[in-house]
Amino acid sequence: MQKIKNLACLLLFSLLLFSCGEYQKVLNKGTVEDQYKMAVKMYETQKYSKALRLFEKVTPAYRGKPQMERIQFMVAQSNFNEKNYTDAGYYFDRFVKNYPTSSKIEEASFLSAYSYKLASPVFSKDPTDTNKALEAFQSFINTYPDSDKIVEANAHYKELRYKLQKKYFEIAKTYYTTADYDVRNYKAAIQAFDNLLSDYLGSEFKEEALYYRLKAAHDFVLKSYDRRKQERIKDAIEAYEKLKRNYPESQYMEEANEMLAVLQSEKIRIDALIEQLKEINVENSKEK
Contact of 221 with 232, CB cutoff 8 Å:
yes
Residue 164 contacts residue 127 (beta carbons within 8 Å): yes
Closest CA to 92 of 106, 109, 104: 109
Segments making up each domain of the chain, as ranges: 171-281
Q: Using 50 as the pLDDT threshold, list the residues of the chain that sit under it.
A: 7-18
Cβ(237)–Cβ(260) below 8 Å: yes
pLDDT in the model for residue 234:
97
Q: Which CATH class is domain 171-281?
A: mainly alpha
For residue 15, what pLDDT is reported? Answer: 46
Q: 64 — alpha (psi -120 to 50), left (phi > 0) or beta? A: left
Please report the pLDDT score of residue 124 as a whole number: 53
Say if residues 43 and 76 touch (Cβ distance below 8 Å): no
Q: Is 4 exposed, middle or buried (0-12, 13-18, 19+ CB in 10 A)?
A: exposed
Whole-number Å distance between alpha carbons of 286 and 176: 47
The per-residue pLDDT for 26 is: 80
Q: Which of 113, 199, 103 is nearest to 156 (CA)?
A: 113
Cβ neighbors of 58 (< 8 A, separation 6 or more) are: 32, 35, 36, 39, 71
pLDDT of residue 281: 65
DSSP 122: -
DSSP structural state of residue 125 = S
